[in-house]
Amino acid sequence: MRRVFDSVAEKYDLMNDLMSLGIHRLWKRQAIAKLKLQPGDHCLDLAGGTGDLAILMHKKMEGQGRVTLCDINLSMLKQGRKRLTDEGMVSSIDWVCGNAEKLPFPDNSFQAATIGFGIRNVTRIQRALDEMQRVVKPGGQVLVLEFSKVAIPFLRPIYDTYSFNLLPEIGQIVTKDRDSYQYLVESIRQFPDQETFKEMMESAGLYRVRYDNLSAGIAAIHVGFKV
């Protein structure tokens, strides 16, 4: 996994725009809109990459909160730090290289914990959900934005053709690394469907878990609360 993201880190944002035709930015805004954040809150963004969700959370807290951006990959953290420094936000962000399956934070540390398009790359997904629940304060939220299962049957073969045939070729042209994007496509297909993932979040001790499909289920936002 480190090799995959070491390979794509410098072109990560560009590839996201190309692969989703820019729609991932709308999905991320819709996701963060579901968080109940106030100025002064402290949030955690796992697999934070180049900082898209961190930027949106910082804005939602009116520039008066903190975001801890945690990623297992140093190359991605370096790209994120460079980007947020350019945007003048580096003083509001804490940078941590850490594993989602064993978070280096005390219990009840954050008002919200998010992970965007990263949890499918975690080896033990249930353990990561358990950890997110652990580090969130009572009453806080756990939010997962991830690719999911297309909900409209006639769209599935079209989406599969695009994913398996076109996306790896785009990866080859832009990053010279077809194999990494072939892996990313395959990881999407192996990820649990919406209802199964909802049950996994409930198994982590979260309640009032619900999900909203995005673009006919190409992606989904799952949100749950800690008691």
Q: Residue ranges of the alpha helices (H) in the chain?
A: 2-8, 12-20, 23-32, 52-60, 74-86, 125-135, 156-161, 167-175, 178-190, 194-203
Q: What is the DSSP letter of 100?
A: T
Feature table: binding site = 50, 71, 99-100
Q: Provide the annotated binding site for S-adenosyl-L-methionine.
A: 50, 71, 99-100
Residue 222, strand partner residues:
144, 211
Q: What are phi and psi of 175, to 5 degrees?
A: -110, -5
Could you report how far apart the first and last alpha carbons of the chain are, in Å? 33
Q: Which of 227, 214, 178 is nearest to 25 (CA)?
A: 214
What is the Cα–Cα distance from 120 to 222, expressed in whole angstroms?
A: 13
Other residues' Cβ atoms within 10 Å of the Cβ of residue 195: 10
Residue 5 burial (C-beta neighbours within 10 Å; 0-12, 13-18, 19+)? buried
Tokens of 197: 């993932």
Q: Which two tokens stand for residue 13?
A: 């944002």
